[in-house]
Amino acid sequence: MKTISPLFFAVLWFAGCTSTQQWLSGKPEAFRQGYEAGCENAKERVSNSFIPKTNDTERYKNNPRYQDGWDEGYGDCRLDKETDLLMRRPGLLR
């Protein structure tokens, strides 16, 4: 069975960050703010599942761009953080 090199994931992660920043730069301000807020909440929740999934409820309900950004950021960063945690487990990728 082939093994997956952690270096491979590191390169993908770095490339993803660069392209995410470029991608976000073309989005409306409300979307970018929602993305950042959703991303931060996802990182916290993956590290500690007892932290509730939270957002600026009024803004989330009333601003579709913020809501889209929050959902996108939460999904992207949750996956990134979970992948990072899995890579830290000894022997997982051997």
- Per-residue pLDDT of 6-56, as tens digits, reads 555 555 555 555 688 888 999 999 999 999 999 998 888 877 767 677 778
Give the SS3 label for residue 21.
Answer: helix
Give the pLDDT band of residue 1 (cuts 50, 70, 90). very low
Does 55 or 58 have the greater pLDDT score? 58
With residues binned 3-state (H G I as helix, E B as strand, rest as coil), the percentages for the chain, rounded to 5, are 75, 0, 25
